[in-house]
Structure 1
Amino acid sequence: MDFSADDDEAFRQHMPAQFGKIDGSVNVEAQIERARRKVVDENKQAKKEKDSDDDDSDDDSEDDDDEFPVSHELIIKTHDRAITTIALDNSGTRLITGSNDCTLKLHDLSALTPSTIRAFKTVDPFVTKASQSAESHSIHQVLFGPHSGGQFLCITATPQARLFNRDGEQISEFVKGDMYLRDKHNTKGHTSEITTAAWHPTNRDRFVTAGTDSTVRIWDVNKRMKQEEVVVHKSRAAGSAGMTRMTAIVWGAAADGGSGMIVSAALDGSLVMWGGNGPFHRPAAEIRDAHVKDTWTSGLDISADGRLVITRGGDDTIKLWDTRKFKTPLNTTSHQSTSSQYPTSNIQFAPNSQSIITGSETGHLHILNPATLRPELVTPVTPGSPLISVNWHPKLNQIFTGSANGQTTILFNPSMSTAGALTILSKAPKKRYLDDDPSLTVDMDPLGMAGEANTSGPNPGSFVSRHPTVGLTASGRSRDPRRPHIPAITPFAKSTPDQKYVMEQIEGSDMRDEDPREALLKYQPKAGEKNVFTGAWDKTQPKGVYKDYDSEEDERERKKAKK
């Protein structure tokens, strides 16, 4: 039998090209190269236009590109709305992002692959095992504790701070103060929204919060029912009430050692500094007009040595301050503010304090020189979408950014960075099978025939309880478009008894579905039985005597005669 060329080609495609064990190793260099981004330094481009006669400018730009870890990027898209805060633990393996969609996304960077970049857990700070709430508030700040990645602090648009472990389980919820007490020193917690918080630089059990009630409060993580210290900021620019909103706070190391210093910014434009150990009845230093009054100073940070303070105000300025001469700024530069729309826009010193990073309204990352506040690098990350949150991790040497379009970007350099995005790109992409595409397969309930996962039943260690996000997309939604959304249980609905509870706990409640006529007829005595209920009247009741008619016509005639 003769075979055509098409038959030979079909046979070649059907049979394997080689036998035995096949090397399935991934080309790491190629994957990292695909993550390379075109580094556009708009600041240097502007300089080139001014000085076009400089022939060595191209060589200098190539050398400077390797100065910062921005040559490559990895994108994580797990939120639908603006990312307001980014936090990483000290090891750099746990990434947490907070958003205006009122949720936290937990990512394990050591377990991700290039094709499975998604959050392993979505946390709603207002829904816990003990109680389920229908509230929804924006996430202001997420902070991992110092020297430990075991717990993180979550600040939302409420008067209560919340502490979680690294797996997203709530540890404690700190108390809310009595809003009807006039003297804020006598309240056990904040009486209005908390705007910002900061951990102690060395003590993992202490942190500080500041809020719109014009107070700064120092807490112990083991005492959630009352703060340790209350600092009431008396604003001199706020009129007779003396109240203002605290917009940003940081707890940094002191220049001469000790317990550090607390620096806070207020809506009245002031910048206030206290010693880490007090006294707190009056500030150690205060600058009244650090920024323009009634503008939101969202960015605040202290250098590692405790000598410099950087602020990003709502008056479109960035200012550098010396903690030893806390009176006038060392340098000032103009920078478009985004705090009016995104009040959590931050600014941060690099781990070595040799640079300052912040975002911009145009979606660019700005790396500034701390001595002159001049830009060393201005590169687009999410053009057209404001860059809100930045985080330069010291161990990974990678820059994490969060934008208004819900995108988290990891900037890195293979020659300078370690782990993090490099760990993800060093793995082979997960092999996709036919059943990964729900449009090509018969959809099955990912939680099994029992419906929801049962973590408290007789089999809490089942596959369903250990993998609560199986069958969900990266954003936490079901892959099946036909599956209805399960609404949150409100406190009213939780306290209202359902049909099962009524049937089991209330005696006689099962009679409501019974036919009353049938219920009475079942007590009717049968022939020969004694009438139990009405037998006493059988002999005393009169017998009715009725006239019998021969037909219905006779009865009609009788009725007509009466008329």
Structure 2
Amino acid sequence: MISTNLSIWDLRKMKTPLKVFDDLPNNYAETNASFSSDEQLIFTGTSVEKDGRNGGLLCFFDRRKLELVSRVGISPHYSVIRSLWHPRINQVFATVGDKKEGGTHILYDPSVSQRGALVCVGRAPRKKSVDDYEVQPLIHNPHALPLFRDQPSRKRQREKMMKDPLKSHKPEAPVSGPGFGGKIGTTKGSLLTQYLMKEGGLIKETWMDEDPREAILKYADAAKNDPKFIAPAYAQTQPETVFAESDSDGEEKK
């Protein structure tokens, strides 16, 4: 629960506080209490009341007399959440705000304060010059319409086409894993099956031990009896096969 009062204690007698100051509305747990630079004053901030009658205040209390010294209005619409008395420049900083926005207020005395806010207050506002103006031209982009856009080069069109497998006629990659779409895949199981069948002698690969010439000549009789490719084209115009002269024979004659 957030406290709405300021209690002053004596460390030697912690049973009851020396003084309790009530009527200090507070809506934020971050609200603090601080001492002045000479530690003679205690001050804290207050929050805006729900009815809006009182805004954020800074309340100062005398440490020795235990009485209220002054109430300083900081903001009519925002609560005072944090406050600090800077000992070197002798100025009081108070942060105000709500859940949406906030700000910082600085209290100073020209006779005792140093630097800080006095640097800004004593500086005259900058004079406006006739050259200080801002032009906001309206820019039309001619390339925004498709009619005025630059056509891509042939190289870029070709690179874009190569990325499209349909336009580039890219061959399909071999199927790895189970087959799908009517394609036979290769899995570890099928490779293992082929390996076992080869080791067991069910699959024999004889092409390495076979003579290439003999492998071709075994189809010679079938090609002669039932020609399908080149021979039917010359069956009427050149029934007898004419072979080219050997280059080696010509060289021997020379």
TM-score (norm 2): 0.48
Higher relative contact order (CA 8 A, sep 6+): 1
> Hey, which of these two has a bigger chunk of strand by percent?
1
